[in-house]
Amino acid sequence: MISTLSVQQTGSRFATMDTSLPVKQPLTDEQRMHYLIAGISDYAIYMLDPQGYVNSWNAGAQRFKGYVEQEILHQHFSRFYTPEDRATGLPALALALALEHGRYESEGWRVRKDGGRFWAHVVIDPIRDGSGTLIGFAKITRDVTEKKQAEDALRESERRFRLLVQGVTDYAIYMLTPEGMVSNWNPGAERIKGYSHDDIVGHHFSRFYTDEDRLRGLPVRALMTAGEVGRYEAEGWRVRKDGTRFWANVVIDAIRDEEGRLIGFAKITRDLTEKKAAAEALDKAQAALFQAQKMESIGQLTGGIAHDFNNLLSVISSGVEVLSMQRTPGGDAKTLDSMRRAIDRGATLTQQLLAFARQQPLEPETRNVNRIISGFESVLRRAANSSIEFVMKLDARAPNAVIDAARLESAVLNLVVNARDAMPGGGRIVVETANVALAHGEHPSLAAGYYVRLGVSDTGTGMTPETIARAFEPFFTTKEVGKGTGLGLSQVYGFIKQSGGEVTIESTVGEGTSIVIWLPSATSHAHDLAEVETETVLIVEDEPDLLDVASSLFLSMGYDVMTAASGSDALNLLASNDVDILFTDVVMPNGMNGIELAAYTRDNYPNVKVMLASGYPQPVLKLDRSRLGDFTFVSKPYRLSDLARSLRSAH
């Protein structure tokens, strides 16, 4: 019974299971597809009927577009399009294209239920039944707004960078492949290098380098350095399309991808030609200023030494004159003559020093330089030996110049002798003149205007740059000991500078030297040395030895002499004594100087004759020169004859 019941119960249980818990049947393919599509939330997947009305809706469509299924079923899909796209008929066109081509794909703005827009990627496929009859469309939409925003941001960044690069004209900015081929080109590169985009893209960047740099492998080394250390920077000459050169600052940066692979190089080039030229001009100007300051300092020192030396020579010269007048018939005349010759040589040396210091007395007048040169051509030819070809090239258009003719002759002769000495084995000397018009800045030391260019050139040994830099310094010489004083070129330099001109040297070792004198042209100029007038009896001199010698000279001529060591002493003597002549030194260390004393004497004692004396020539006395021409002037060292001649003209 129990077993029967059990069977019955068991049977009853199975019977119950058959009615209340049916066994699940396997899903059909259609069911699986339905569940799959319904569960997708990253894509809007839905069906349209042939007229474009929605007849299915999935979770992704609801998430993207905001409509629940009940709101959108049987509504036309065009409501998802923007008003602008609906106005152009884009929804209908999309279905038509899908039918025509079997598929339609595009991206564009779509509209959510709340009016918000999103960027959608859309695919529409026509659906047909087994007989080929259109039964609707399958539409898949994906929200790619974030992707579009990222792409738009990237495109905008690239656009701005492109505009920046294309807008730059002061820099050549372009890309190179890893092999060095030009892959793009900006307007700055075209302006600086002369190549258009089509001219250069696809060509190797080494064509911008000079032949010398290419032979040295510089382009390859530049890329290797940039590839190894990430950056290369240098300056050097580069070549434009037309073959001209420019000085460039170059920066090459290696460009690598996310994985560190080299994908090319960024190259930036700037034309620094003007900057380099300006820097070089500044260096030259600074060097010229330093040289001018050095020569000026040496000139001041030299002039001071010459002045002091003149005072010493005056003592000796005057002493010799006094001894000559006092010597007995059996005196040593030979010794006195030797002393006079030594004095003459010393005076010549001081004149050379004063010439360099631009302190020598000149007698400038308007002269034709060609006539001066032609007038002593025979002397110049004799100065060059028979193994030297001597050539004169005188420009008939060469203008006049205001110059001391005798000293110009001496200067040219000096240059010819130097040229001869530079060619011991023979060669060629050319003396030439030219009429030259200089523009502003064309010559670093001369103003714009017309000049006489007088040059002496040779084919001799030439000079090194170091020698050229010192050639005009006094006592500097490259000749052997005993064969040159080193005062020749310095004397020429000082004379020409004092005359308002300039001297330049162009020389190459082993090829020769050309020394050029530049003299300002003058069509007319009247220059007469002022006749100086003055007289003196009271001797004013701060050097005791020179004061004694001057007293002896005046005493030997029969004058009564009073002496004073300063201007204040002289004023006291003038106030308490009858003085006929005032003979005073110009430069005195303390108190009143000679010009002030002479002016005071002229104003207060008009009958006293005034004479001035100095070892400095009149043009360089840094005192009140406005009244210097009113008085008779005697240069030291002076002799008895000099004093006698000046006394006759003094008043």
Instruction: Render pLDDT for 598-612 as a digit per residue (tens, 0 to 9).
Output: 888 888 888 888 888
Given this model, what pLDDT does residue 606 score? 86
Q: Are 392 and 496 members of one domain?
A: yes
Residue 400 shares a structural domain with residue 516: yes
Token pair belonging to 532: 């100086």
Q: How confident is the model at residue 415 (pLDDT cuts 50, 70, 90)?
A: confident
Residue 571 in domain:
yes
Q: For the ranges 239-243, 269-273, 424-428, 633-637, which has the lowest average pLDDT?
A: 633-637
Q: Are residues 256 and 340 in the same domain?
A: no
Are 214 and 307 found together in one domain? Answer: no
Please say whether the beta carbons of 642 and 634 come within 8 A.
yes
> Do the Cβ atoms of 535 and 608 come closer than 8 Å?
yes
CATH of the domain at 267: 3.30.450.20
pLDDT at residue 618 above 90?
no
Decide if 33 is inside a domain.
yes
Domain containing 83 equals 29-142
Cα–Cα distance, 269 to 235 (Å, whole number): 9
pLDDT in tens, 89-124: 999 999 999 999 999 999 999 999 999 999 999 999
337 domain-assigned: yes
Residues 547 and 623 in one domain: yes
pLDDT, one tens digit per residue, over 159-187 is: 676 666 566 567 888 889 999 999 988 88
Q: Give the model's confidence band at 74: pLDDT under 50 very low, under 70 low, under 90 confident, else very high.
A: very high
Contacts 24+ apart (CB under 8 A), 545-553: 545/315, 546/311, 546/314, 546/315, 546/318, 546/585, 549/314, 549/315, 549/318, 549/319, 549/322, 550/318, 550/583, 552/318, 552/319, 552/322, 553/318, 553/321, 553/322, 553/640, 553/643
In the predicted model, is pLDDT for residue 508 greater than 60?
yes
- C-alpha to C-alpha distance for 490 and 78, rounded to whole angstroms: 102
| Assigned domain for 155 exists | no
The band of 635, judged by pLDDT with boundaries at 50, 70 and 90, is confident
Of the pLDDT bands very low, low, confident and very high (cuts 50, 70, 90), residue 453 is: very high
Structural tokens at position 648: 């006759």
Are 186 and 252 within one domain?
yes
For residue 514, give every residue at least 6 positions away whose Cβ sits within 8 Å of its Cβ, in sequence order, or none: 455, 456, 457, 458, 505, 506, 507
- pLDDT of 358 > 50? The answer is no
Q: What is the mean pLDDT of residues 350-359?
A: 48
Among 296, 327, 350, the domain-final residue is 350
pTM here? 0.35
> What's the CA gap between 197 and 175, in Å, rounded?
12
Domain assignment present for residue 157? The answer is no
Both 201 and 288 in one domain: the answer is no
Last residue in a domain, options 247, 271, 295:
271
- Given 239, 271, 303, the domain boundary residue is 271
- Specify the range with the lowest mean pLDDT, choosing from 144-158, 255-269, 318-332: 318-332
Angle 545-549-555 (CA atoms, 0-180°, nearest 5)?
Answer: 145
| Domains identified in the chain, total number | 5
pLDDT 10s digits, 560-591: 788 888 888 888 888 878 888 888 888 876 77
Residue 51 predicted with pLDDT over 90: yes
For residue 458, the domain's CATH number is 3.30.565.10
640 domain-assigned: yes
409 and 512 share one domain: yes
pLDDT confidence of residue 341? 64
Cα 3 off chain centre by = 122
Is residue 150 assigned to a domain?
Answer: no
Alpha helices in 332-464 (DSSP H): 333-356, 369-375, 377-383, 405-421
47 and 89 belong to one structural domain: yes
Which residue has better confidence, 410 or 211?
211
Strands (DSSP E) found in 412-472? 427-438, 449-458
Same domain (yes/no): 262, 294: no
Query: Quick one: the chain helix, strand, coil %, rounded to 5?
Result: 45, 25, 30
Is the domain of 297 the same as that of 330? yes
